[in-house]
Amino acid sequence: MEHAFKPEQMTKKYFTPWVIVLSAIALNGLGFLAMRFFFGIGSVTNLNNQFPWGIWIGLDVAAGVALAAGGFTTAALGHIMHRDKYETIIRPALLTAMLGYTFVAMGVFVDIGRWYYIWHPLVMWNGNSALFEVGICVMIYVSVLYIEFLPIVTERFIGKVNLPGFLKKFNLLVDGLLRKLDRGLEKTMFIFIIAGVVLSCLHQSSLGTLMIIAGPKMHPLWQTPVLPLLFLLSAFSVGFPMVIMESISASKSFGLKPELDVLSSLAKFVAPLLGIYLAFKIGDMFIRETFVYLAEFNSTTIMFTLEVVVGVIIPLRMFLSAAVRNSTTGLYIASLLVIFGIVMNRFNNFITAYNPPYAVESYFPSFGEISVTLGFVAMEILIYRLFVKIFPIISLPIKNAGLKAKYAIRGGLK
């Protein structure tokens, strides 16, 4: 248990065959994005007056926010409850959350028709609107995430400032400023950490409030007044699986040994969290007696069953098993299933469930829409890979142990 870890920059080379593939996917997405900006949303998407929201909202935004939940759940565990054991996973989770939310904001930016007015919600308020709440919370939270990331930047550059050319004479000055910033952040970071958790709880649940106003347009299997609670509980339960999945993926990609000890302990939290979510979901179904709809056999009920059985019940059973929790493959598969379940849930809430009264034909995302969504995911992975090479994010065991490492809240080694 007394392994000492220290976040280090990854040294493996950036380009691999997978990176090339991801770059191609990202470029393809960018191409369709250019089309969207030059010729309008209608030229790229299958959206129309019946279906105003597609996968750019349902997946890029709604699922994106949910999958970035690893940031605030690990912050709550590591920083607020002071479970020091989990310090090593906080930085990767923070980076994912920061990138995740940045891409959520990008998703909103490309989906809204008048993207140049994206700042309007800051000054034109509507306290009745769930979307307003989500928008404001996400904007503040993105800023908080960037602030939480700053100590990593200062840690990276303090004592190593080396500006090119004639800027060299500012090296000392910049270094001094960084040190000052670092000290200031160290004193105040707890404010931002708590704020980050509060903001997350708020907008994760308000995201669930969003579709309530659609009323009877939304299929009763999903339309319920407890949607905000279900969204919050499902965000809680997807946070750690997301961190586990990333950690294992990053280890594989950089040829490191997965930190199975930490991940297995973390996995113990997943089953109870998923269980609570499932209990509320099923309980709500019985209270509203919506299970009658499951007697029908159509695409809607198939999607619901997939979401609940494959995405919640099976991984719940898996996370209950110690054998699964102690195996890298088991953990990986179980975590992927939870992620699948939550992505399905967001997709279903925003797309499958949405049945406008005068729909002529149902919505299916266009090639352009799918390209942009995949492009964003690819870009996120590429930037992640770049960041773990530039900044000390991923923790490595310290060779000459004996020195007892402990991270302070700002993340540095003390």
Partner 1 sequence: MSQNRRDFLKTFAAIGTTAATLTAVTPNIAKGSSRRELSIDRKGVLVDTTVCIGCGKCEWACKTAHNMEAGNFDDYSSQLTDGSQRRPSENALTVVNQIDTSIMNSDKVKLQCMHCDHPACESACIVSAITKQENGAVTWDTDKCIGCRYCMVACPFQIPAFEYQKALDPKIVKCDFCYDRTKEGKLPACVEICPVGALTYGTREELLIEAKRRISKDPDKYFDHVFGEYEVGGTSWLYLAENNLVNKVFPKLGTNTAPGVSESIQHGLFAYFVPPVALYALLGGVMWLSKNKDKNEGGH
Q: Which of residues 12-31 bind partner 1 (CB under 8 A)?
A: none
Q: Return the number of the residue (82 or 252) whose C-beta is nearest partner 1.
A: 82
Q: Return the number of the residue (36 or 385) whose C-beta is nearest partner 1.
A: 36
- Decide if residue 128 touches partner 1 (CB under 8 A): yes
- Decide if residue 8 touches partner 1 (CB under 8 A): no
With CB under 8 A as the contact rule, which of the stretches 23-31, 125-133, 143-151, 338-346 interacts with partner 1?
A: 125-133
- Decide if residue 129 touches partner 1 (CB under 8 A): yes
Closest approach of partner 1 to the CB of residue 286, in Å: 20
Closest approach of partner 1 to the CB of residue 203, in Å: 10
- Decide if residue 288 touches partner 1 (CB under 8 A): no
Structure tokens at 370: 């799918």
Q: Return the number of the residue (126 or 362) whose C-beta is nearest partner 1.
A: 126
Binding residues with partner 1: total (CB under 8 A): 73
Closest approach of partner 1 to the CB of residue 311, in Å: 24
Structure tokens at 224: 């319920």
Closest approach of partner 1 to the CB of residue 11, in Å: 31
Given a contact cutoff of 8 angstroms between Cβ atoms, the answer to whether 71 and 145 are in contact is yes
* Maximum Cα–Cα distance across the chain: 75
Give the contact letters, 194-213, x = binds to partner 1 (CB under 8 A), - = no: xx-xx--xx--xx--xxxxx
Handedness of CA 131, 222, 267, 394 (dihedral sign): negative
Using CA atoms, how far apart are residues 385 and 382, in angstroms rounded to an integer? Answer: 5
Closest approach of partner 1 to the CB of residue 40, in Å: 4
Using CA atoms, how far apart are residues 354 and 333, in angstroms rounded to an integer? Answer: 30
Give the DSSP per-residue string, 306-348.
Answer: IIIIIIIIHHHHHHH-HHHHTSHHHHHHHHHHHHHHHHHHHHI
Residue 407 class from Cβ within 10 Å (0-12 exposed, 13-18 middle, 19+ buried)? Answer: buried
Give the contact letters, 81-120, x = binds to partner 1 (CB under 8 A), - = no: xx-x-----------------------x--xxxxx-xx-x
Q: Which of residues 30-59 bind partner 1 (CB under 8 A)?
A: 37-43, 45, 47-50, 52-53
Give the DSSP per-residue string, 2-35.
Answer: ---EEEE---S-S--HHHHHHHHHHHHHHHHHHH
Give the contact letters, 153-182, x = binds to partner 1 (CB under 8 A), - = no: ------------------------------
The distance from CA 168 to its chain's CA centroid, rounded to whole angstroms, is 39
The strand pairing partners of 396, in sequence order, are 6
- Decide if residue 63 touches partner 1 (CB under 8 A): no
- Decide if residue 190 touches partner 1 (CB under 8 A): yes
Length, in residues, of the chain: 414
Using CA atoms, how far apart are residues 33 and 40, in angstroms rounded to an integer? Answer: 10
- Decide if residue 151 touches partner 1 (CB under 8 A): no
Using CA atoms, how far apart are residues 244 and 315, in angstroms rounded to an integer? Answer: 13
Q: Return the number of the residue (54 or 375) whose C-beta is nearest partner 1.
A: 54
